[in-house]
Amino acid sequence: MSVKTAVLVSGGGTNLQALIDASRAGKLPHVALSLVLSNRADAYALTRAREAGIPSAVCERAKGEPREAFEARMLEILRAHGVEMLVLAGFMAILSREFVQNYPDRILNVHPSLIPSFCGKGFYGLHVHEAALAYGVKVTGATVHLVNEIPDGGRILLQKAVEIEPGDTPEALQRRVMEQAEWILLPRAAEMVAQELEEKR
């Protein structure tokens, strides 16, 4: 039995698409894409889930809602779907220590830089690439890591470097990092972790 996996999203969902494509290509034998959970009702990732026939759910954090209440609602949805492993694929919310403890070493995140550069609080999405260009680094990349209570602080699973090119804009760099690193690393890491979980059963 493959590992029931939820992909948590907030936006476009190109990393979700990479997982869907890898699964269709038979590259994720230990991963069952069982649920797409979005904290934004307007995330295009939800359309990708629907088109792929994957069940989806929306759990938005209401204005002023305490994080514990939001996370409790998320947990309820995940448990109802029997989820065993989480993949954060452009999920723009920081999870608490208490939440993470429900899935020890079973939450993966993809981050668009070579951690420990340009990571932690405030470094997400396009901001990461803006910061890399502003600093003037010549090489950036992507990291897939396990999630613990420290933002972008869990054990690194896979990393891949990507060259910065003359005249790069944040958007161009973001696209190159996705194509050359994120979309390759994330399915690979998900399969790696799922296989290990299955062997421990």
Q: Which residues are catalytic?
A: 111
The token pair at 179 is 């194509």
Question: Does 146 participate in binding ligand GAR (rule CB under 6 A)?
Answer: no
Determine if the peptide bond prior to 116 is cis (ω within 30°). yes
Q: Compute the least distance from the CB of residue 128 to ligand GAR, in Å.
A: 6
Question: Does 34 participate in binding ligand GAR (rule CB under 6 A)?
Answer: no
Residue nearest ligand GAR (C-beta atom): 90
Helices and strands (H and E) in the chain: how many: 7, 7
Which of 12, 120, 153, 170 touches ligand GAR by CB under 6 A?
12
* C-alpha to C-alpha distance for 121 and 149, rounded to whole angstroms: 12
Q: Using the minimum distance from each CB to ligand GAR, give the nearer residue, 79 or 127.
A: 127
Residue 67 counted as an annotated binding residue: yes
Instruction: Name the one range near ligand GAR by CB under 6 A: 5-13, 25-33, 53-61, 159-167.
Output: 5-13
In the three-class reduction of DSSP (H, G, I as helix; E, B as strand; rest coil), residue 146 is classed as strand
The residue with tokens 């010549």 is 138
For residue 65, give every residue at least 6 positions away whose Cβ sits within 8 Å of its Cβ, in sequence order, or none.
none
Which of 28, 59, 112, 162 touches ligand GAR by CB under 6 A?
112
Question: Does 11 participate in binding ligand GAR (rule CB under 6 A)?
Answer: yes
Residue 102 counted as an annotated binding residue: no
**Overall residue count recorded for the chain in this entry:** 201
Question: Does 187 participate in binding ligand GAR (rule CB under 6 A)?
Answer: no
Question: Does 141 participate in binding ligand GAR (rule CB under 6 A)?
Answer: no
* C-alpha to C-alpha distance for 36 and 48, rounded to whole angstroms: 9
Which of 3, 5, 7, 13 touches ligand GAR by CB under 6 A?
13
Question: Does 182 participate in binding ligand GAR (rule CB under 6 A)?
Answer: yes
Angle at 110 between CA 165 and CA 39, to 5 degrees: 120
Burial zone of 68 (CB within 10 Å; 0-12 exposed, 13-18 middle, 19+ buried): exposed
Q: Which residues line the annotated binding site for (6R)-10-formyltetrahydrofolate?
A: 67, 109
Q: Binding residues for ligand GAR, per CB under 6 A? A: 9, 11-15, 45, 89-90, 110-112, 124-125, 128, 178, 182
